[in-house]
Structure 1
Amino acid sequence: MPTPSGPANGPELETVHLLRAASVELALHSARFAQLNGLHPTDVRALIALMDARRAGEETTAGRLGAALGLNSAGTTALVDRLERAGLVRRVRGEGDRRRVVIEAEERAVALGWDYFGPLIERSAELLRGYDEGQRAAIQGFLAGVRDAAAAERE
């Protein structure tokens, strides 16, 4: 089997392979959470997107959520309806514009996620505490760059 040539064949490849392996493990962890809680993997991605928006102080409309997940309008409505029936999200009026309907994660969803993902989050944070500020900045820069590169491939 031919091997790639160019920069991808250098020492950086080991880090790229480790990132890929970590991504696979995180996806499997997320899939186990979905299975244990009777959720679809897209439901989990939606809850993560809603919690990320909440942490950033942003409101999420159904349209914005659908765009983030790559869903059409009908798929987004079905997703939100399903999560609402499960008691994991709610539709509320926007704070800045009361005409807008925004989707918010219920506290139950936050608690459910923290119970399952909390130990992994804590362990990851503990690992990062072992690095100095410059190293953490480099790690964040690398991960943000990979995220941006993957998002660009999606478009």
Structure 2
Amino acid sequence: MVAQRDGDREFGRLLQGLASEMNLLGHDFAAAQGLHATDVQALLAVLRATDPPGITPGGLRAELGLTSGAVTAVLDRLERAGHVHRTRDAADRRQVHVHYHPDAARLAFDWFTPVAHCTDRVRSEFRAEEVATVVRFLTRMTEELERLRQDRRERQPR
């Protein structure tokens, strides 16, 4: 039983280390672009918005847990830096959609390509079945952490 607890602690420590390194890479990207860490989270949310025509400021507010004013400040910084642009919906001019700017996508691609190479290098050390297990684990961890984050946000007093 003690060995299992030690293994669990090591597993948790390794997950924390991975999360920390990914977070630090994001911070480094933000610093190199003259952005805030929250700006990078917003950029990732814009990239994940696979449903055209992009994500709305309200969608960003909900995803990032920010106030409307904070989302406006983030979008203003990102737009000034050339990372995103906002468009009005053709059918409802009151509706605004945020899109990742293609030139900014190239900057992010150049910055994160070495991360992709690291990922490919490490993944190549594992058999397909092992990678499938890791993918399943990471998918479930992400789902559970997202659920936990949403539950906590819903319980917070407004």
TM above 0.5: yes
Hey, what does 1:49 align to over in structure 2?
45
CA RMSD in angstroms, aligned pairs only = 2.4
Cα distance change of structure 1 residues 43 and 101 upon mapping to structure 2, 3 Å threshold: same
Residue in 2 that maps onto 1:39: 35
Q: How many residues align?
A: 147
User: Contact conserved, 1:47 with 1:109, CA < 8 A, in 2?
Assistant: no
Out of 6, 21, 26, the residue aligned to residue 25 of structure 1 is 21
2-structure distance, mates of 1:66, 1:145: 24
**How far is the alpha carbon of 1:80 from its aligned partner?**
0.9
Letter in 1 for 2:61: G
* Residues 61 and 101, structure 1, Cα contact 8 Å, conserved in 2: yes
Shift of 1:105: 0.8
Q: In structure 2, how many angstroms separate the alpha carbons of the residues matched to 1:132 and 1:102?
A: 42
Say if 1:61 and 1:103, in contact at 8 Å, map to a contact too. yes
Amino acid at match of 2:110: D
Q: Which residue is equivalent to 2:156? A: none
Q: 4+ residue runs of structure 1 moved beyond 3 angstroms? A: none
Q: Residue 114 of structure 1 corresponds to which residue in structure 2?
A: 109
Q: Normalization by structure 1: what TM-score?
A: 0.82
Given the superposition, is the C-alpha separation of residues 57 and 130 from structure 1 closer, same or farther in structure 2, using an over 3 Å criterion? Answer: farther
SS in 1 for 2:135: helix
- Offset at residue 10 of structure 1 (A): 5.0
Long gaps (5+) in structure 1: none
Question: Which residue matches 2:126?
Answer: 131
CA contact (8 A) 2:35 2:77 kept: no
More displaced, 120-129 or 71-80?
Answer: 120-129
Partners of 2:91 and 2:60 in 1: CA distance: 18
The answer for the alignment partner of 2:155 in structure 1 is none
Does the CA contact (< 8 Å) of 2:30 and 2:40 recur in 1? Answer: yes
